[in-house]
Amino acid sequence: MGVLDHISDMFDCSSEHSKHKRRKQLQTVEIKVKMDCEGCERKVRRSVEGMKGVSSVTIEPKQHKLTVVGYVDPEKVVSRVAHRTGKKAEIWPYVPYDVVAHPYAQGVYDKKAPAGYVRRDDFQTNQLARASSTEVRYTTAFSDENPAACVVM
């Protein structure tokens, strides 16, 4: 391999293994952490305030919600809060009530959710109960729209 090949490899911009890191995007990370008192709030706030890339930290203690805005990785924020505070931390599992198609479906409605929120609907409507073929047969047998329905009705 010649000197020119070596120099062209050093300045090759098309390689996937670039030495420059991609900048992280500005993100809003919402985390659910149980906070009972002001001491817990302070502990949670201090666990993420010193983190590199954090722009702002907002805490809503009644909802047990921590909001972090900055150039951060969501998984790193969750793991740091869990490690530094010793509390269970998870990505905010709730969405506003209006966003979900079936807010009272099993697995979506959560009694522990803050007012106006339901659990995130990741499964959409796939797990909703569907009528089996026997149920459909019995309901159509006694339907008013079925001309061959039971005459007893």
Which sequence spans correspond to the domains of the chain?
A: 25-94, 104-152
User: Which residues, at least 6 apart from 43, have a Cβ–Cβ distance to it below 8 Å?
Assistant: 84, 85
pLDDT band per the 50, 70, 90 thresholds, residue 45: very high
Q: Give the per-residue pLDDT at 47.
A: 93
SS3 72: coil
User: Token pair 């007893």 is at which residue?
Assistant: 152
Choose the CATH number for 25-94 among 1.20.120.1200, 1.20.1250.20, 3.30.70.100, 3.40.250.10. 3.30.70.100
Strand partners, 58: 67
Q: Is the pLDDT of residue 123 over 70?
A: no
Is the pLDDT at 131 greater than 70, yes or no?
A: no
Residue 143's pLDDT is 67
Q: Is the pLDDT of residue 58 over 60?
A: yes
CA dihedral 41, 46, 47, 53 (to 10 degrees): 120
